[in-house]
Structure formats: C-alpha cells, structure tokens
Amino acid sequence: MSLRSLLTTGLLAAGALAAPPGYGGSTVTVTVTEKASCSASTSHSTSHSTSHSTSHSTSHSTSKASTPKTYATSTPSSSHSSTSSTLTSSSATSVTTTTSSAANTNASTTILATATSTSYGLNDAAKKAGKLWFGTALDVPGTGEAQDPYYIAEFDNIHDFGEATPANIMKYEFTEPEAGVFNYTGAEEFFTAAAGKAVRCHNLIWSSELPAFITAPTVPWTNATLTAALRRHVTTLVEHFGDRCYSLDVVNEAFSDSPAGAYSANVWYNTIGPAYVVEAFQAASDAVRANNLAVKLYYNDYNIEYLGNKSYAAQALVKDLKNRGIQIDGVGLESHFIAGETPAKAAQQANMEAFTALDVDVVVTELDVRLTLPPTVASESQQVVDYYNTVAACVAVPRCVGIVVWDFDDTYSWIPGTFPGQGYGDLFLQPGGANTPLVRKAPYDGVLEALTGAAEAN
C-alpha cells in the first residue's frame, strides 16, 4: 500500500515533542519525502472473539477501563480489506517523530502533531460537508475527565465537537438503580457539561451495566413481569429526557457474533425472547407519540459496519419494526476498528446505503482505531487511512448524518484496559499525562481531510 503526503498542515511540528508516557526513548526529526509503504490485513481479526465481555464493572473510576466495552471482530470477505488512499497536502511533510531507545527494541517510530489551536475544526468541516455534527463520547461526570481542564477545554471547543454522547451515565444501572426509583443526577450533570451541543442519549436497553434488581431478582422474572419493567424504564426515560436528546439508543447490541446475526443471550432475551427488542421500541415509540416529541429512535451495534450476517440481521430488524408501524429513525454503526483491519471505504459506504435504503439515517457512533503498542510510523500511517475511509464513507452517504468518536483523548481511552497491548486509538494525546496540554495526532488531519473532501480514497 502506498501513501503520499499523509500529513496536512496541522501535523507540522515546530520542534521535537516528548514521547507519550510509557513509550520511552529519544526524539528525532524526520522529513517524509517519498511515498511511505505499509501493509494492511485483508480481513478482520478473529482473535478477539473470545474476549467479548457480557458484563461491565458497575463502578466509575478515572478511566473507562473500569467499565470496559469488549468487542469481538469477525472476519468479513476479502472485499472488506483496507484499500490504499492517497491523502493530498499542500504543505511540507516535515514531521516530528519519536523513536525508542536501543534497550527497547519493540518500540518504534511514532508520528506526533503540533498542539495548535484552530478556528476551523472537525465539527465545522462536518457541517460544511452537510452533516449535522462531528461529536465525541465522554465519561462525565464521575471520572478524571471532568477534572482535567485541558480535556474539558478541548471538549468545549465547538469547532471540533458539536455533539456529545454519555459513555455510561445514562445506562440502566445509573438511571434506575432500584425498581421504580429513578436517579437523573448524573444525567443532568452531563446535559450541563454538554450545553450547546446535540446529545445522543445512550442507552436505554442493553445486556450490561444493569442494576442488581434486573440481574439478580428476588423473585424470578416471567415474560410479563420483565416486559413490564422494561417498558417502565424505557417510557420513563423517554419522557424525562425528551427532546433534550437528539436521539436515543433504544436497544444496544442485541445481536451476536457467534453465530453472527443471532440474538445474544442475556437476561432480556432469555426471559422475553427476541420480542424484547420490539417491546423496547414500541414503548419508546408510544412515549414519543404521547408526548409529541421529536427525538429520534436508534438501534446501535458493532460489527454491522460492513455487509454480512450481523448487518443483515440489523436490516431485518429495521424492516420488522417499520412493518409493525413502530418508530425507528436510525442505526448506529459503532465502528471500533483495528488499524489495517478496518473495512474499506467502499465496503462501509455500501453498508450505510443498505441501511438508508430502508428509510433510516445512520450515524458512526463510537469510532476509534486501535494500534498494537507501541505505535510506529507504519501503523499510525495506516490508522490515518482507516480513520479517513470511515469518515469519507459517511461523507459520501447523504443520510449518514454525523460521526462520533468514542472519546478523543488517549489518556481516557477504554482500549488498553480491554485489549492489553493495544491502544493509541484516539485523535489526541497528552504527552505529559492527565491534566496537561493536548496534542493533535495524525488521524485528526486524516479525518479533517475526509470531511473537507481534499482527497479521495481509492
């Protein structure tokens, strides 16, 4: 795979930057003048399928690793392999990199960008491209993010982020910790933090982060009693949050990877059967209509970003709900990817178009692209291409209405705690650690270039 002029203006480094904590070594400055060569896998890894978690920690801490989301990656056909992209740039290509010390033979070269402020950012570019916003998830309140002034300053940068998704605080265990007892304290703090941004409220019904009264009831659930609890939760939250949410993820991750497209076993499915998804959307739809709300209702999942059995199952769900006259407005494509194993732009675009042909919108809801640590020039160059291809696919599809990254700063990433030996998946890093200035990474400009249409992926 050949890449030319990967880096745009934001990647010009005025001087050597310190390596991120844990990567160690000296710094050197290199000038990229030739096409860089990198290889990409032609299929998704299957090695993570055994690590798909069915439960999350129930406590918050300063890192999202305390409530990890684990994602299996299935193997699409070879047509989903990463394709080469030529990213154009009118700027010079001198970049600062860090290399390892001789003692650490596994560490290699890492591209870093300059820490520069901008009056034109990702959200500006997304809106100009016809999207509603470019956004981010964050784990506020209750984590170190909320106390990190540099992190919060970048989150508040409306030029980069016009949307916010609560990573945890609106989930079942936090909003209804006891049966019929609702707690909106954390959710209201999130709305305050996200003032001025659209909010994708995440999520109402999922198999994880559930309160004990659901997972360990004193009296065993029946179909009727658990359905009633589900409908109470959905109805109450739709009514309370209302149109403060741009959209609500009504059901999250209902489908399995093994076999792909089957329903996952969980407390809802085991007691109610597949009808639990219909019941959740019916309750949300009824609440929207009864309260004359404009909030949009979404189904959200991972490994439905390319055509395959799991994506087809999600399409079938959309058709079923529509045939029943139940409201569903969109599908969230989580897009947790591995550098070099990310579906090609054409594959992602075709998949998005398959959903929008069903008269629903799509959103890239949880985008990150993780690397094997330590990062190298080759792996981060591939990461730039992978970010570019996902965003460019959305740009190409009119009813892909926005892109959301699953947090934007490596300091607070969920990845290292879930996939040991992997990380470096976000758009920013803090070379000095938490509570220090942020630095834009190479993928930021790949995303910006995709949004501005300055280059075309092959």
Contact 442, 111 (CB under 8 A): yes
Q: What pLDDT, on the 0 to 100 scale, is given for residue 306?
A: 98
> What's the CA gap between 283 and 424, in Å, rounded?
40
In a domain, 290, yes or no: yes
CB atoms within 10 A of CB 316: 13
CA distances from 161 to 63, 88, 114, 342, 345 (A): 21, 24, 19, 24, 23
Mean pLDDT of 429-441: 97
> Residue 357: which domain range?
47-86+119-452
Helices (DSSP H) in 83-222: which residue ranges?
122-128, 149-155, 172-175, 185-193, 212-215
How large is the average pLDDT for residues 256-272?
96
Q: Determine the pLDDT at residue 454.
A: 57
Taking the C-alpha atoms of residue 302 and residue 418, their distance in angstroms, rounded to an integer, is: 15
- Cα–Cα distance between 115 and 227 in angstroms, integer? 51
- Choose the catalytic residue: 253, 334, 380, 449: 253
Q: To the nearest whole number, what is the mean pLDDT of the chain?
A: 80
Q: Answer for the pair 196, 179: CB distance below 8 angstroms, yes or no.
A: no
Closest CA to 390 of 336, 311, 330: 336
Distance CA 364, CA 300 (A): 10
In a domain, 10, yes or no: no
Q: Which pLDDT score, from 0 to 100, does residue 340 have?
A: 97
Where do the H-state alpha helices sit in 71-222? 122-128, 149-155, 172-175, 185-193, 212-215
Helix (H, G, I), strand (E, B) or coil at 57: coil
Per the structure, the count of domains in the chain is 1
**Phi/psi of residue 226, each to 5°?**
-75, -35
The three-class DSSP label of residue 94 is: strand
For the segment 88-111, the average pLDDT, to the nearest whole number, is: 32
**pLDDT, average across residues 254-258:** 96
Q: Which residue from 306, 318, 300 is spatially nearest to 389, judged by alpha carbons?
A: 306
The model's pTM is: 0.81
- 171-183 average pLDDT score: 98
Contact 17, 112 (CB under 8 A): yes
pLDDT at residue 387 in the model: 98
- pLDDT confidence of residue 111: 52
pLDDT of residue 453: 87
Place of tokens 């290509």: 93
Q: For the chain, what percent of residues have pLDDT higher than 90?
A: 72
How far is Cα 72 from Cα 210, in angstroms, rounded to an integer? 21
Q: Which of 173, 279, 305, 366 is catalytic?
A: 366
Indicate whether 112 belongs to any domain: no
- Residue in this structure with the two tokens 């769900």, named with its chain if needed: 317
pLDDT exceeds 50 at position 450: yes
Comparing 400 with 73, which gets the higher pLDDT? 400
pLDDT band for position 119 (cuts 50, 70, 90): confident
Please write the tens of the pLDDT for every residue from 46-69.
333 333 333 333 333 333 333 333
The pLDDT value recorded for residue 289 is 98
Q: Is residue 97 part of a domain?
A: no
Is position 334 annotated as part of the catalytic site? Answer: no
Active site (annotated) includes residue 341: no
* Mean pLDDT within 128-139: 98
Write down the pLDDT at residue 162.
98
What does the pLDDT average to over 364-368?
98
Q: What is the pLDDT of residues 308-358, one digit of tens each?
A: 999 999 999 999 999 999 999 999 999 999 999 999 999 999 999 999 999
CA torsion angle for 120, 124, 126, 127 (degrees, to 10)?
Answer: -150
Asked whether residue 23 is domain-assigned, the answer is no
Residue 379 counted as domain residue:
yes
Asked, for residue 2, whether it belongs to a domain, the answer is no
**Amino acid, res. 183:** N
396-426 pLDDT tens trace: 999 999 999 999 999 999 999 999 999 999 9
Whether residue 433 has pLDDT greater than 70 = yes
Q: Would 35 be classed as within a structural domain?
A: no
Strand partners, 369: 337
The confidence band for 225, taking pLDDT boundaries of 50, 70 and 90, is: very high
Interval 153-177 mean pLDDT? 98
pLDDT at position 240 over 60:
yes
Tell me what the mean pLDDT of segment 133-162 comes to. Answer: 97
How does residue 137 score in pLDDT terms, banded at 50, 70 and 90? very high
C-alpha to C-alpha distance for 412 and 251, rounded to whole angstroms: 25
- Residue 226 pLDDT greater than 90, yes or no: yes
CATH number, position 207: 3.20.20.80
- Which pLDDT band, with edges at 50, 70 and 90, does 118 fall under? low
